[in-house]
Structure 1
């Protein structure tokens, strides 16, 4: 099972970086916290339609994001394929998508993932276990990544920010989940997932306060994204 080609993420990162700096007031903080070598997982909160593209464009290394496979049937599908993004089926535990992401990590690449799955408030009240599975299988460093400004209170899940809106991506220091040894695999996965969720939730809250960009409230969550 092979993952997407590295060159696809390279051109996507350069293109995204230019577009987001031209169209929006986009800022990246903590880029020095992303390891320059080795496998890395960018675990980000999920607010709006542009989250993946924003992180991809502002990250210091090219990355391949896990994206809901239904998006590949939409108008953006050809662009997602060309930029080397990885389809992830809606069913929990999609081993095809996770397997391709694991191949990227095995070649010391960078994978982006939204532990929340669906777009919503971005506060990490809940999180899926896919990111923990990838981290335990690859021993990759997990970088909690806060995304802010891509969706305001009252805006729909597919909405995009107004031009020149202030968008922020803030990368925290990496963590490596360390569940206790000698416990069943399912429990290890649950512990690792909670360690990642807690670290990301804490970072998102702190970044929101530091940059003065509140998380949206009272919005209906996406079914999947």
Structure 2
């Protein structure tokens, strides 16, 4: 493989068509089981992630590793955004093979949005981080933005609130005892792709669930019960649906 930088246009073109499967399946078969064992991974709520069809997975964001750990615990392929600087040379081509595509941060990136919608249109799963950037403080979550919700609405994809802990930066920058909890998907069929609807979806329905699950995972780092995602957080979703 050439080490020259891949252009954003080339990266998006590959992601929209669907990247090759060789590198992805190598990671699934070899690397992902190692990640799960090495970092004592625990997962709950996998049954909440649809086995097929478009879906947006909306996790909190603590580390560069987050998308890979989410991919490690799900059987279907996950696509994800990464900052444009990562998609250079060999590293960029590897990220694309694993389902990544670049986004320019600090401004609306129409190319990244178009790629995200193309992925949903062909029925694939997309991981989008509502915080928009990593929040290093393990005790706090960032302020969610409405971009992930708006893409889900435009793409007609249910959105799955997701909490992940243990990936925050530590000594040697390696995570440990990683826990992931997927909550029940929130439908978007009756919503419009407006700032108002996207804001209400993320702030009133998605983020309360992520925040509650995140606190529960941090409070009980050694145990993730099978039904954790549904305990306590259903109230927020019911209130959201009752207002509609």
User: The TM-score by the shorter chain falls in which range?
Assistant: 0.7 to 0.9
Q: Does 1:5 align with 2:18?
A: yes
Q: String of CA shifts for 1:132-181, please: whole Å, max 9, x gaps.
A: 111110121111111111125xx48x9223xxx31111111111247877
How much does 1:100 deviate?
Answer: 0.8
Moved segments of 4+, more than 6 Å: 178-181
Judged with a 3 Å threshold, the aligned counterparts in structure 2 of structure 1 residues 143 and 172 are, in CA distance, closer, same or farther, namely same
SS of equivalent residue, structure 2 residue 41: strand
Counterpart Cα distance in 2 of 1:210 and 1:199: 17
Q: Measured at CA, do residues 132 and 37 of structure 1 come closer, stay the same or move farther in structure 2, by a change above 3 Å?
A: same
- Which of 1 and 2 has greater Rg? 2
Name the SS of the counterpart of 1:166 in structure 2: coil
User: Within 5 Å, which residues of 2 pair with 1:70-109?
Assistant: 70-73=85-88, 76-109=91-124
Is contact 1:13-1:58 (8 Å) kept?
no
Asked if 1:176 corresponds to 2:187, the answer is yes
Separation in structure 1 between the aligned mates of residue 90 and residue 210 of structure 2, nearest angstrom: 31
Note the residue ranges of structure 2 that are not aligned, 5 or more in a row: 1-11, 224-244
Aligned pair count reads: 205
Superposed CA RMSD = 2.8
Higher helix share: 2
- Alignment partners' CA distance in 2, 1:62 and 1:170: 17
How far apart are the structure 1 equivalents of 2:20 and 2:183?
Answer: 26
Match of residue 193 from structure 1: 202
Q: Which moved more, 1:7-16 or 1:65-74?
A: 7-16
Give yes or no for the alignment of 1:138 onto 2:151: no
Unaligned stretches of 5+ residues in structure 1: 214-225
Report the CA distance between 1:202 and its aligned residue.
2.4
Query: Measured at CA, do residues 44 and 107 of structure 1 come closer, stay the same or move farther in structure 2, by a change above 3 Å?
Result: same
User: 1:211 and 2:221 equivalent?
Assistant: yes
- Give the Cα–Cα distance (whole angstroms) in 2 for the partners of residues 210 and 179 of structure 1: 36
CA shift in 2, pair 1:145/1:203, >3 Å: same
Q: Which has the higher contact order (CA 8 A, sep 6+)?
A: 1
Alpha carbons of 1:74 and 1:118: their partners in 2 closer, same or farther (altered >3 Å)? farther
TM-score by length of 1: 0.78
Find the aligned partners of 1:47 and 1:29 in 2 and give their Cα distance.
19
**How far 1:126 sits from its partner (Å)?**
0.3
1:66, CA displacement in angstroms?
1.1
- Cross-structure match for 2:5: none
Distance 2:30 2:146 in 1: 31
Q: Is the 8 A contact 2:131 2:144 kept in 1?
A: yes
- SS of 1:146's equivalent? strand
Alpha-carbon distance between aligned partners in 2 of 1:75 and 1:7, rounded to the nearest angstrom: 15
Does the 8 Å contact 2:82/2:103 carry over to 1?
A: yes
Alpha-carbon distance change, 14 to 66 in structure 1, aligned in 2, over 3 angstroms: farther
Q: Give the direction of change, closer, same or farther, for the CA distance of 1:210–1:32 in structure 2 (3 Å limit).
A: farther
TM superposition score normalised by structure 2: 0.72
Q: For residue 25 of structure 1, give the secondary structure of its aligned residue in structure 2.
A: coil
